[in-house]
Amino acid sequence: MIHIKDEIGVLGIDDGPFSKESKEVLLIGTYYRGNRILDGVYFKRIEKDGMDSTEKIVEIVKGKHEKKINVIFLDGITFGGFNIADIHKIYEKTNIPVVAVMNNLPDYEKIERALMKYFKDYESRISILRSLPKPEKFDDIYLQYVGIERKTLELIIKKTRLKSKVPECLRVSHLIGRGFLYL
């Protein structure tokens, strides 16, 4: 039996709200110990529909809590529109397991059609999408992950959520992002 300590260090990353006119989008990271202790909040700007979310996520991870982060949770794999996070590269550059958490199964055919229609560099974006592991259902969410075994991941998710279906670090990153709607 695998033992996961109650105060395991996890980082949750989500994006803030944006409009069609936005050039940049705020990336929000919260570092949690377990599901009750918020121990850090990070912000980075990414380009809306750009290709810099992977690099900016790595910058957040390399902050103050890097040595304490056991898992990086992402709210999906796209931020600020179609700024696709490459979970393989994030794992490669941090050596910390990366998990994209989604409420619904992504429609990759629809996403690929949109990428082909709106982006000149659609081939590299589609290449990242196709390199990702298939989403797997867990309770009421879907997971894409690298660098961790499924059983261990399930235990960590159970330890890091409070009353939500997602880890608390992701829930709070999302709440902070929603707060920017009212500025």
To 5 degrees, how large is the angle CA 101–CA 7–CA 132? 25
- When computed from its CA atoms, the radius of gyration of the chain, rounded to whole angstroms, is 16
Percent residues over pLDDT 70 in the chain:
98
- On whether the CB atoms of residues 141 and 102 are closer than 8 A, the answer is yes
Domain boundaries, the chain: 9-105+135-182
As assigned by CATH, the class of the 9-105+135-182 domain is alpha beta
Quick one: which of 31, 57, 30, 32 has its CA closest to 44? 57
Spell out the per-residue pLDDT of the chain, length 183, in tens.
678 899 999 999 999 999 989 999 999 999 999 999 999 999 999 999 999 999 999 999 998 889 999 999 999 999 999 999 999 999 999 999 999 999 999 999 999 999 999 999 999 999 999 999 999 999 999 999 999 999 999 999 999 999 899 999 999 999 999 988 776
Predicted confidence (pLDDT) per residue in 122-140, tens digit? 999 999 999 999 999 999 9
Q: What pTM did the predictor assign?
A: 0.96
By three-state DSSP, how is residue 145 classified? strand
State residue 64's pLDDT score: 87
